[in-house]
Amino acid sequence: MLEQASKATTTMSLKKGLQRRWRLGEKFIESWIFLAGVLTIVVLLGIIALLLKEGLPIFLDTPPWEFFFGTKWYPVSEPPTFGIMPFFVATLWVTLVATAISVPIGVACAAYLAEVAPAKVRETVKPIIEILAGIPSVVMGFIGLMLLSPLVQSAFNLNTGLSGLTAGVMLSLMSLPIIISVSEDALRAVPSDFRQAAYALGATKWETIRHVSIPGALSGVTAAIMLGVGRAIGETMTVLMVAGGALAVPVSPTEPMMPMTAAIASGIGNAVRGGLQYQALFAIGLILFVVTLAVNLIADRVLERQKRKFSR
Amino acid sequence: MIIRINKLEKSWLVLIFAVALVIITGCSSQSTTTPTGDEPSGFFSIIGSNTVTPLTSVWAEEFMKMYPKVNIAVSGPGSGAGIAALINGTTDICQASRTIKQQEIDQAKANGVEPYEIQVATDALSVVVNPSNPISELTIVQLSAIYTNQITNWKEVGGNDAPIVAIARDTNSGTHVFFKEHVVQMLGLSSEDKSLEYGTKVLMLPSTEEGVSEVARNPNAIFYPGLGYLTSEVKPLAIKKTADSPGVLPSIETALDGTYPVARPLLYYTNGIPTGILKDFIDYCLSSEGQAKVTEVGYVPLK
């Protein structure tokens, strides 16, 4: 009896000790995760503060109106002029071309993978698409420079193949994997009862995709497109290499142009800390940040709505 | 319990700060020189002109071969970038293909940096076109008109009826600034006009190599690389100072005897008079051995 009782107490104390140790470990991990979460917020706030601190003073020298709508960018002249209209329009063109190419292909590819392709095909193709996302942007720029730009030049009979169009095509290749991957997930999240019901009503495969699956996943597909657009706006190395870098406000995508990211990258090395050009480049960075943030926020909202729709 | 978490947090914060401190102090690149001994050793960086980079790389390689304990990092984002790095204290030597501006000297002095200039070689800035282009010479006034987009077709300067694709370096580049002052604004000519700027249709490319390869590919393109970047795939033009003067092709001889109109010094800037390992390196560059390398790379030696 006594023996049994003492045995019971030892197991009890052992259990308690284990529990305490386990609890300590949990506390440790808990605070580590908490800190990691806080760190990202701190870094984000720090970046915003830095962009504001370094970028806003330019408006003391160049009024916002002239900065946004000025068409002349001569940072190393005396006196310098800062007008970012050419860069802003260039970013619009390049993003437009990239979206126009990547959205139809991306959504179609996602529909194929989610609805048509046999499991074996999907399991081979999807990882390959995800590898495409991992190609470094400088490699994409190099391919654009060596292969695509001569092709674009002869196909459209241009003066030079270094143009917004070339950059847009390369960017579309880079945002394709995001669009395909996220829209495929959205399409597969549409409950299969919907499809079964459509088939039961005698709908063909195409009619089911067109009228049931894609409308059902529309918010997810929209979010995928927004994420792809965000990638295209923020991409730097590729556009720096293949967009041509002319300072005119581009009136057509076939002209050489310099998007905002390329303008920052090509000017920042030359800018003395705290100088006017430095401030102007930070202000461009601020604008770029606000634009991509808005795009990502919209994408997030839409994705959230998609999730709520099917969480019955 | 809450208190305990807070304590844990604090210790973690301290740890993170410590790591950050180590990273920050480890990153500040300053030359580490051992006290004057028999053999130079240590690390220093050279940042600046894309034009000077091929020459500096050869010198750095040779110097590191002679003194295996020396480590030199060379990068060529552009003269402006190099001068900015010198002012910000992130480089030991700045290589430049243009002279430092008064404004930059003031900024340097405000940061406690005393720029010290050393000419290490000379460059004949060549103007190149595609070999299929029939044009063989241009005046500086014509070049200025091309780069300000006043002339946009080759037939206006006696060539084919084809649009001109004018290519320049981006604003990081010393060549961009040198070409603007000496050719676009026609410094020293009677037609000099300081208000002229590059035209907005001019392509600004991030490196000299990219410009040369675009000219090699594009029959209508024109670009201005340094003499060291000339290849057989592009054709250098003879430059006429005025319409009456003879056209001069860029070469070591014409740059040395002063007949080529757009020759320029290639420079090193240091913070104050160089000492220790930096002095050893620059002495090597200026020695007859070092200057022999200048000719090999394709630039013009000092003597």
The answer to whether A153 contacts chain B (CB < 8 Å) is yes
Facing A74 at nearest CB: one of B87, B165, B197: B197
Do A76 and A130 have their domain in common?
A: yes
The answer to whether A266 contacts chain B (CB < 8 Å) is yes
The answer to whether A31 contacts chain B (CB < 8 Å) is yes
Cβ-defined contact of B204 to A245 (cutoff 8 Å): yes
Q: Are B81 and B53 spatial neighbours (Cβ–Cβ below 8 Å)? A: no
Interface test with A, best of B176, B204, B208 (most A CBs within 10 A): B204
Strand, coil or helix: A215: helix
Each residue of B206-244: pLDDT tens digit? 888 889 999 998 999 999 998 888 889 999 999 998 888
pLDDT score, position A2: 54
Kind of pairing, strands B115-124 and B263-271?
A: antiparallel
Cβ-defined contact of B84 to A246 (cutoff 8 Å): no
Considering only CB atoms, which chain A residues are within 8 Å of B87?
272-273
Q: Please choose, from the candidates B87, B90, B88, B95, the residue with its C-alpha nearest in 3D space to the C-alpha of residue B48.
A: B95
Is A61 contained in some domain?
A: no
Each residue of B157-184: pLDDT tens digit? 988 899 999 999 888 788 888 899 889 9
The answer to whether A258 contacts chain B (CB < 8 Å) is yes
| Domain containing residue B237 | 128-261
Is B257 contained in some domain?
A: yes
Do A152 and A240 have their domain in common?
A: yes
Which residues face B221 on adjacent strands? Answer: B165
- List, for chain A, all residue ranges whose pLDDT scores fall below the cut of 50: none
Is A145 contained in some domain?
A: yes
Which parts of A129-172 are beta strand (E)? none
Give phi and psi for A129, each to the nearest 5: -60, -40
Cα–Cα distances (Å) from A264 to A87, A248, A269, A292, B78, in that order, read: 10, 16, 9, 15, 15
Query: How many contacts, defined by CB atoms under 8 Å, are there between A and B?
Result: 103
Cβ-defined contact of A159 to B163 (cutoff 8 Å): yes
Interface predicted TM-score (ipTM) over 0.90 = no
Do B269 and B200 have their domain in common?
A: no
Is A195 contained in some domain?
A: yes
Do B117 and B133 have their domain in common?
A: no
Q: What is the mean pLDDT of residues B61-82?
A: 89
Do B94 and B62 have their domain in common?
A: yes
Residue B6 has pLDDT above 50, yes or no: no
Q: For residues B168, B170, B173 and B176, what is the CA-based torsion angle, rounded to 10 degrees? A: 40
Q: What is the CATH number of the domain that holds A238?
A: 1.10.3720.10
pLDDT score, position A160: 86
A residues 65..104 contacting B (CB < 8 A): 71-72, 74-77, 86
Cα B12 to Cα B20: distance, rounded to the nearest angstrom: 12
Length of chain A: 312
Do A43 and A89 have their domain in common?
A: no
Do A105 and A228 have their domain in common?
A: yes
pLDDT score, position B25: 46
Do A94 and A35 have their domain in common?
A: no
Do A241 and A121 have their domain in common?
A: yes
Cα A89 to Cα A190: distance, rounded to the nearest angstrom: 38
Q: What is the CATH number of the domain that holds B193?
A: 3.40.190.10
Do B232 and B272 have their domain in common?
A: no
pLDDT score, position B104: 87
Is B13 contained in some domain?
A: no
**DSSP secondary structure string for all residues of chain B:** -HHHHHHHHHHHHHHHHHHHHHHHHHH----EE--S-SS--EEEEEEE-TTTHHHHHHHHHHHHHH-TTEEEEEE-S-HHHHHHHHHHT--SEEEESSPPPHHHHHHHHHTT--EEEEEEEEEE---EE-TT----EEEHHHHHHHHTTS--BGGGGTS-S-B-EEEEE-TT-HHHHHHIIIIIS-TTSTT--TT----TTSEEES-HHHHHHHHHH-TTEEE---GGG--TTSEEPEEESSSSSPPB---HHHHHTT-STTEEEEEEEEESS--HHHHHHHHHHHSHHHHHHHHHHTSB---
Is A60 contained in some domain?
A: no
Do B100 and B180 have their domain in common?
A: no
Is B14 contained in some domain?
A: no
Do B49 and B158 have their domain in common?
A: no
Q: What is the DSSP letter of A236?
A: -
Cα B265 to Cα A195: distance, rounded to the nearest angstrom: 74
Residue B117 has pLDDT above 90, yes or no: yes
| Domain containing residue A12 | 2-55
Do B145 and B90 have their domain in common?
A: no
Considering only CB atoms, which chain A residues are within 8 Å of B269?
none
Strand, coil or helix: A70: coil
Sign of CA dihedral A180, A186, A188, A193: negative
Q: Give residue B87's identity as a one-letter amino acid code.
A: I
Cα A170 to Cα A94: distance, rounded to the nearest angstrom: 10
Interface test with B, best of A236, A247, A281 (most B CBs within 10 A): A247
Interface of B with A (CB under 8 A): 4-5, 8-9, 12-13, 16, 77-78, 80-81, 84-85, 87-88, 104, 107, 163, 165, 170-172, 176-177, 197-198, 200-206, 210, 213-214, 217-218, 220-221
Do B147 and B86 have their domain in common?
A: no
Do A46 and A72 have their domain in common?
A: no
Do B170 and B283 have their domain in common?
A: no
| A35 burial type by CB count under 10 A (0-12 exposed, 13-18 middle, 19+ buried) | middle
Is A185 contained in some domain?
A: yes
Cα B95 to Cα B79: distance, rounded to the nearest angstrom: 7
Do A71 and A46 have their domain in common?
A: no
- How confident is residue B12, by pLDDT bands cut at 50, 70 and 90? low
User: Which tokens hold the place of A234?
Assistant: 């923020």
Is B46 contained in some domain?
A: yes
- Average predicted confidence (pLDDT) for chain B: 84
Cβ-defined contact of B165 to A34 (cutoff 8 Å): no
Residue B146 has pLDDT above 90, yes or no: yes
More confident residue, B37 or A151: A151
- How confident is residue B35, by pLDDT bands cut at 50, 70 and 90? very low
pLDDT score, position A13: 67
Do A19 and A120 have their domain in common?
A: no
Q: Give chain A's domain count.
A: 2
- How confident is residue B29, by pLDDT bands cut at 50, 70 and 90? very low
Do B254 and B270 have their domain in common?
A: no
Do B139 and B226 have their domain in common?
A: yes
Rounded to a whole number, what is the distance in Å from the CA of A43 to chain B's nearest CA? 13
Cβ-defined contact of A269 to B88 (cutoff 8 Å): no
Cα A100 to Cα B245: distance, rounded to the nearest angstrom: 54
Is B12 contained in some domain?
A: no
User: Which tokens hold the place of A116?
Assistant: 């048509």
Do A108 and A178 have their domain in common?
A: yes
Collect all residues with Cβ–Cβ distance below 8 Å to B161 and sequence separation of at least 6.
Answer: B153, B154, B155
Q: Give chain B's domain count.
A: 2
pLDDT score, position B26: 45
Do A244 and A125 have their domain in common?
A: yes
Do A44 and A134 have their domain in common?
A: no
Q: How many CB atoms lie within 10 A of CB B8?
A: 17
Strand, coil or helix: A74: strand
Q: Please choose, from the candidates B299, B287, B212, B297, the residue with its C-alpha nearest in 3D space to the C-alpha of residue B263.
A: B299
Residue B279 has pLDDT above 80, yes or no: yes
- How confident is residue B156, by pLDDT bands cut at 50, 70 and 90? very high
Which residues face B266 on adjacent strands? Answer: B121
Do B173 and B83 have their domain in common?
A: no
